Amino acid sequence: MKKDSLWSNYRFTYTPLLRHKKKIVLSTVAEAVFYVIVPVVGMTITSMIIGSLEQGVSVWSLVVRILLAFMGFGVLNMVKGYLDARGNSQYIEVRTELFIMDHIKKDLTISMEQYEDVAVQKLKEKANDCMWANMWGVEGFFRHNSDLLKSVLGLLLYMLLVGTMNWRILLLLVGISLVSASAAYMVTRHYEKMQDPLSEQNMTMNYINREVDDVQGGKDIRIFGLGSWIIGKYDRAIKNCRRLYFRLDMWEYGSNILDTVLDGVRDITCYLYLILQLSQGMRISEFVFYLGLVSGFSGWISMISKSVVAVKQDSDRICDLRAYLGLAEDAPSGKKVDGAEIEVVFDHVSYRYQGAEEYTLKDVSFRLAPGEKLALVGMNGAGKTTIVKLMSGLYLPTSGAVYVNGVSTRELDRNSYFARQAAIFQEPFQTSYSIGENIALAESYDRDKIWDALSQAGLDKKVRSLDRQLETHLGKDIAPDGISLSGGELQKLLLARALYRDAPLVMLDEPTAALDALAEAEVYGKYHTLLHKKSVLFISHRLASTRFCDRIILLSDGCIREEGTHEELMRLQGAYHEMFQVQCRYYDDSAVG
């Protein structure tokens, strides 16, 4: 992956800031100015007090001078404190208002093929690391550049003041600064090499966190006693991270040792020079002032070194974020799907997942006619789910074409196509919001239409019995009084969702896999009855559940092995007949007729 330059990342971050948040830029500059001025004023006050003592001013005059000086110094500190506090909240504001929404939008709009790609998952992890933190990434870039501005202004002012003392001392300080900056650069280079291995370990820990937080998975973890196994994997990931950070700490430790040695050389040289000047007639007030400058000079150098390292590290994270934001989106502009009905044609379609050696689908051709009920059956791994993803437009064929009403999915406006389909997958999708929102999949909805869909699906009595009815939340993630639906009730809710959407194309990818054969046959029968005049693709590995379909396609090893009605395939006495007979032994007669 090509890295964006540091200056390119400045344009990426500061252009929207200058366009939408000019006041924050002015506030940052003001914060830097006060940050630099306050310590200089403090040294000046100290020097003034000593100078007044040297001049022998009266006690009352000295008291007045001290009071006035510290009143002014107090006002400066109050302004500085206000700007510091304001700056802290402003950086959060910039990250959340100018960048986070683009990041979330990209999460929701990249293609499924990219989303499922391991390399993209690693990149996404790095982008998350850049976006969801206060002290590094995008927000850290603004914070550390603010620190860099402060330290550069402070260094320039101190260089100007030190230059009035002796230009040779100034050159010494500048030379030491360059050596220190070079050491900081080496630390940055080492940090860059650590990003990929660190990202891999973070992915592992985040994955384990998700699995442990999953209530459904919690049952398996406890029953099979997986706690120690999971903790062991998490512990190894933590130890790997520790080893990587330890290597970086050693580089930083070496850089700090070098800075300490350089600071010692600088201080000894400058102090000897000032003592020599003091012996030759320099006033004590000047000696104290320049001594403060020399001591402060090292602070600015150290701050610059640390800021440069931090800015470079933040810039590297921003490169990852920009690479993620630059991924192609899932719904390119194209032709809209015309007509009230949907016809889907697979024309010699083959598909291979990225990184796979074998094709999942091999030269598959078939037609789903408008209003037809088509079943895809076959063993697990035959390619059924891949066909659903290709038919829905989530995937594009590796070769061949999928046509929707005569238009290739490569040329479709896929957002408009998504709006004309309803899909229910093996893992039913539900949110922790209200029942009404779960059916409409929107915050606002037609209540009468919702109740009609619930009535047809057979779930209206259940919902009307609830205190909050349509406003009842599913799950307790958001509302403590949320409820859980049984497997059968959840299937009815999903049916109500499909009926409410009223899409001309419906795809059912084994949504009833968790139900028994009798329950599945009942649910599929209800879909068949209620989704009349719609193009429906049924997928099941239980053949009895889809025998009512207009046509059945048996997939095997990514190819169409047999095709026809249930009766035709039974008369053929091929693979479908054999599978059906085997499965019938486990079905109740009422399920198979």
Residues 320 and 382 in one domain: no
Q: Is 402 part of any domain?
A: yes
Q: What is the pLDDT of residue 451?
A: 93
* Cα–chain center distance at 455: 39
User: What's the one-letter identity of residue 250?
Assistant: M
CATH code for the domain in which residue 474 is found: 3.40.50.300
Residues 401 and 415 in one domain: yes
Separation of alpha carbons 509 and 369, rounded Å: 18
Mean pLDDT per 10-residue section of the chain, whose length is 593 residues:
83 90 88 88 81 78 84 88 83 86 82 79 84 87 92 85 71 72 70 72 77 64 71 85 80 74 75 78 77 75 81 88 82 74 93 87 93 88 88 91 91 85 81 88 89 89 90 83 83 87 87 70 77 86 79 91 91 88 64 42
Residues 109 and 32 in one domain: yes
Which among 289, 299, 302 is positioned nearest to 256, based on CA atoms? 302
Residue 394 sits at φ, ψ, to 5 deg, of: -70, -35
Separation of alpha carbons 176 and 167, rounded Å: 14
Count of CA atoms in the C-beta half-sphere (13 A) of 398: 17
Residues 29 and 117 in one domain: yes
Residues 435 and 339 in one domain: no
Residues 360 and 509 in one domain: yes
Q: What is the pLDDT of residue 72?
A: 87
Strands 559-564 and 551-556: antiparallel
Q: What is the pLDDT of residue 331?
A: 57
Separation of alpha carbons 421 and 443, rounded Å: 19
Task: Tell me which of 325, 346, 372 is where a domain ends.
Answer: 325
What's the DSSP call for residue 474?
Answer: B
* Cα–chain center distance at 43: 47
Q: Is 579 part of any domain?
A: no
Separation of alpha carbons 484 and 432, rounded Å: 10
Q: What is the pLDDT of residue 69?
A: 83
CATH code for the domain in which residue 176 is found: 1.20.1560.10
Residues 468 and 545 in one domain: no
Q: What is the pLDDT of residue 1?
A: 56
Separation of alpha carbons 405 and 337, rounded Å: 7
* Burial of residue 177, with CB atoms counted within 10 A of its CB: 0-12 exposed, 13-18 middle, 19 or more buried: buried
Which among 474, 307, 332, 394 is positioned nearest to 112, based on CA atoms? 394
> What's the maximum distance between 2 C-alpha atoms anywhere in the chain?
120
Cβ pair 86, 315 in contact under 8 A: no
Cβ pair 154, 36 in contact under 8 A: yes
What's the pTM? 0.64
Q: What are the beta bridge partners of residue 351?
A: 361
Residues 304 and 346 in one domain: no
Q: How many domains are there within the chain?
A: 3
What tokens were used for 168? 């040779």
Residues 50 and 166 in one domain: yes
Q: What is the pLDDT of residue 333?
A: 67
Beta strands in 182-227 (DSSP E): none
What tokens were used for 271? 């102090």
Which among 426, 428, 500 is positioned nearest to 457, based on CA atoms? 500
* Cα–chain center distance at 292: 47
Q: What is the pLDDT of residue 590?
A: 43
Q: What range defines the domain where residue 427 resides?
A: 423-502
Q: Is 578 part of any domain?
A: no
Q: What is the pLDDT of residue 448?
A: 92
Q: CA angle 295-296-297, nearest 5°?
A: 90
Separation of alpha carbons 525 and 521, rounded Å: 6
Residues 412 and 337 in one domain: yes
Residues 352 and 207 in one domain: no
Q: What is the pLDDT of residue 218?
A: 65
User: What's the one-letter identity of residue 27?
Assistant: S
Q: Is 260 part of any domain?
A: yes
